[in-house]
Amino acid sequence: MPHLIAPSLLSANFLNLEKDMEMVNHSEADWFHLDVMDGVFVPNISFGLPVIEKIKKFAKKPFDVHLMIIEPDRYVERFRKAGADIISVHAEACVHLHRSVHFIRTTGAKAGIVLNPHSTVSLLADIICDADMILLMSVNPGFGGQKFIQNTYTKVRELKELILRKNSTALIEIDGGVALDNARQLVEAGADILVAGNTVFSSEDPEGMIRKLKNF
């Protein structure tokens, strides 16, 4: 399967989201990536349910919603109703991760599990077959434009080995510092989806940048 590109709206122009969304709609991107932050689990606040519900009207591609929040189970159904097609929750934020993953699936959304940079892939050994996607954070979550953590390549390879060993169908997504200088290496290591925020929206030609990330 060719790798997927999911531009992160966290780096888009909040004064003109419709324009940036139309660019993504017409580009070779596959998903919209939406980072939801509560100011508690991560030291930042982004956007939430009302914004997602409104911008869904303009989207022609799936919504990949990354919940960087505490007690995510309380909001899963509401995010699904607002337009989330994929809902990812942090292993570090879920007391009962197995229950959370299956709860997401009951809503009809695909379920993703997120690991922070300090969390080991081995944490997923008993749940890897229950998830549709594993999102590896390649920066510390909370802010866009951070420097890529080099150890991510090793974690991708470890995760890919676990997926194959367990006969899981989970896809591997990478979020944080993804750019042209590391995209190929990430895919070669086993990544299936690349989230790109600052790399895309700070480019003079965002649509062209998406094309390059998709077709290297």
Active-site annotation, residues: 35, 175
* Amino acid occupying residue 29: A
The alpha carbon of 73 is separated from its chain's Cα centroid by a whole number of angstroms, namely: 18
- Tokens describing residue 110: 């695909």
Contact between residue 110 and residue 133 where contact means Cβ atoms under 8 Å apart: yes
Residue whose C-alpha is closest to residue 12's, from 44, 75, 57, 55: 55
- Tokens describing residue 48: 């939430």
Burial of 197 (0-12, 13-18, 19+ CB in 10 A): buried
- Tokens describing residue 145: 């434009």
